[in-house]
Amino acid sequence: MKHVLSVLVENEAGVLTRVSGLFSARGFNIESLTVAPVGDGETSRITLVTTGEDNIIEQIIKQLHKLVPVIQVHDLTDRSHVERELMMVKVDAEREVRAEVLRIADIFRSRVVDATPNTFVVEVTGSSDKLDACLNLLTPLGVVEVVRTGKVAMARGPKRMKEVLPA
């Protein structure tokens, strides 16, 4: 089963290496990983997706808590949460398919962020399923290149991680 983990860490050099090293040392796969500073810049939030049975995920969370720069770990999988992913797709946009690419972009509430005489770059945000569906429709038109961020996720409601928010 896929699990979405939200990990709050101190924003210092080598933290990502230590977290990813924990996974590789134990043979666990990271399916996607995003990280960026949050709040006042002293902390960063890592959102990672991994697969495993509940006992494996529990072991991963316990090991993450043992890493010094890790402040908090939440498994959002069974909690009410919001998750999004960003994808940019470069699509062939020759004259005969330009209108179709724009129509598909509109259907998925995405937008064209770059246009040349021969290509469009379409930016799509949303659930992984939405991104997959959009990509499936664009592929027959001539997808040139795809880049995806991986999931970012946040618990719903008033509870929050201990990050320091700017004043």
Taking the C-alpha atoms of 89, 92, 97 and 102 in order, what is their torsion angle to the nearest 10 degrees?
30
Torsion of CA 155, 156, 158, 162, to 10 degrees: 10
d(CA 27, CA 18): 14
* Angle CA 86–82–135, to nearest 5: 30
32-59 residue pLDDT tens = 999 999 877 899 999 999 999 999 999 9
Q: What is the pLDDT of residue 111?
A: 96
Number of helices (H), then strands (E), in the chain: 4, 9
When pLDDT is cut at 50, 70 and 90, the band that residue 163 belongs to is low
Domains of the chain: 2-79 (3.30.70.260), 82-153 (3.30.70.1150)
Q: Write down the mean pLDDT value for the chain.
A: 92
DSSP string, 85-106: EEEEEEEE--TTTHHHHHHHHH
pLDDT of residue 159: 77
Q: What's the pLDDT score for residue 167?
A: 47
Strands 30-38 and 43-51, by their bridges, are antiparallel
